[in-house]
Structure 1
Amino acid sequence: MAQLRSSTPLESWQAPEGEPVIRVESVTKKFGDVYAVDDISLSIHQGEFFSLLGSSGCGKTTLLRMLAGFETPSAGRIFIDGVDMTHTPPYERPINMMFQSYALFPHMTVEDNIAFGLKQEGMPSSERKQRIQEMMALVQIDALAKRKPHQLSGGQRQRVALARALAKQPKILLLDEPLGALDKKLREKTQFELVNIQERLGMTFVIVTHDQEEAMTMSSRIALMHDGRIEQIDPPRRMYEYPSTRYAASFIGTVNLFSGYVVSQEDDHVLIQSEEAGGLLQVKHSQPLVAGMEVTVAVRPEKCRLMAELTGAPNQIKGVIKEIAYLGDVSIYHVDLPSGKRVQFTQSNIQALAEQPLTWEQEVCLAWQSNSCGVLEE
């Protein structure tokens, strides 16, 4: 999984004295008898690029709309900069929103679209022109000033919408699936540009996306949502390496899950018997677990390595290759175990046109280290 950001010694959300710029307290939103958002609490700090990630219908857009003021919570409170804004209308919040559809005015030029909110605020003409020029330069659309939306590509319209959202210099920018209409290469390029702009401005960005790679690439932290609730909030690397639930493990990346029960625990290692894996699994895990407790062991495909034969040690499995996918940089192998469980492992294709040593129906032995897998209790 790609990740653009690097960790600093102490992030804003880790600082004990750091006050969040957004604080959501026990917020619920019902539509009739349906809970779109169910008792959510979270904090977002100044300068974060925070992602609300999840599949369609998980409640992420409803939560974003409540932050913007377009929806009112059925219960709970929303604080922005320490002020209760639960019932404050959108135009009185220090927030701007970039919509999925971009919502550009078709009869206006690029510069007029960017100027619209500034005119509404009564900004003087000379100051307004300077701000428009700054915003167009920031998103690299200087040459498009006199064009109208129908004369622009999807990527150009996206930049205009971003410039318009940033022009009023909001404290917080909300983005609802902003890259969904772009093709893959342009989307990947724009992800880096968005992060660079956000870091340059020092603004807080909150983005809604269903794309896990998009969230992993851009975010300082991710809130993974499911059925109106938050499954896990963590920086991308921690969410990938240490998922807290089966759902989180399955949603972020690809994972092999082995059901089993705890046999014993010594120091910071736990032994788990798994019929699906066909033997004992050992996991580095410092939290105490009770013998006999049902758990799941999560192993990422890239953590598995080939070995000549089984030695009887934990974390070793044998199976038969049933499917192979060549993706250029890596090859993915699907392996059927004697238990009927199908697992995946990957190999990097380092040498061009190298002869592939693995083929269909070949028996392989796989192993992984105890510190490269995890235990899930849910």
Structure 2
Amino acid sequence: MRKISILVISVFLFFGCKQKSIVHPTFYYWKTDYQNKKAETTYLDQFKSKSLYVRIMDVDFNPDLQLPVPISPIKFSDPIPKTVDIIPVVFIVNNVFNQIDTIQTKVMADRIVKFVDAKVKQAGKQNYHELQIDCDWTKGTRNRYFKFLEQLSANPLLKGKSISVTLRLHQVKNLVSSGVPPVEKAILMCYNMGNLRKYGEQNSILDQREMDLYLKDFLEHYPLSLDVALPIFEWAVVFRNEQYAGISKRIGQMQIADKKLFKQRGNSILYDLLTDYPTAGLKRGDVIRWEQISPEDLLATSKFLSRYLSPRDRNLVFYHLDTYLLKHFTNEHLQKIIANF
């Protein structure tokens, strides 16, 4: 009887206490000039972040040169803090892999490695342990992209280093057509998941319904180890005559709240522009969809993900390190989000 009681208690404890991951919180740095601002570094210290994901450059195809070229590479006005490792990130426009063959992908891989190595040294670091490639690959570009990753990993300068890739929701659900990248791990991008260009009231940054659709039945079966990236950004999506017209970097919370400029449609996230606004390139009658993320949104997302991600050591990366954006989240908010994993 005593043995049965012990067995019952053991089973209860096994199923009643879900094992937690060991979480390493940090941030993306997605600006073109790195400055070691005390207010931003405070967040790294606060979370005891051991690393920082730093966008090095974008890569896009130049039709005049008929070559992939670096776009808006970062400069380092200050070195990255000594206590923080750099994880360089290179964003590659998916269309690049429609334009080049596997010989050219090898050339691109070698050039990226050399470029990254030089930028890391500019950041005050002699080495790095992980390179992240950010690309929203598709079924049509998969083979060349995966070949590029293999060529990248074979570069002598990356010996002893790991390569990670970004992973979108559709690549999790459509595993057969999307394939599994030939790398050690991926980071699940839990943002930019809705239809940005579609007119309407949906929040394209973060949508729980989309997460249910694309992840609920598929995430726990994904074969790579996964880190997680969560959004803390906001933006103004512009529509003219109900057609997508871009994202305005001139419109922020202050402008949206100006009742002389905008009129909110009830309690929705749509705002009508009441007058021409030439400095932002906007015209009267344009509609702004003001998309932002609340602490409650991230809490719900973190609870959802924790149900389907296997417990392990993982990085939890907030996009991105910016004091203005972080003012919307208290330390208590972020700690609760971290604790859910």
Instruction: State the TM-score, normalized to the length of structure 2.
Output: 0.27
In our comparison, the structure showing a higher alpha carbon Rg is 1
Considering fraction of residues, name the structure with more strand: 1
Instruction: State the TM-score, normalized to the length of structure 1.
Output: 0.25
Considering fraction of residues, name the structure with more helix: 2
* Higher-RCO chain (CA-CA 8 Å, sequence separation at least 6): 2
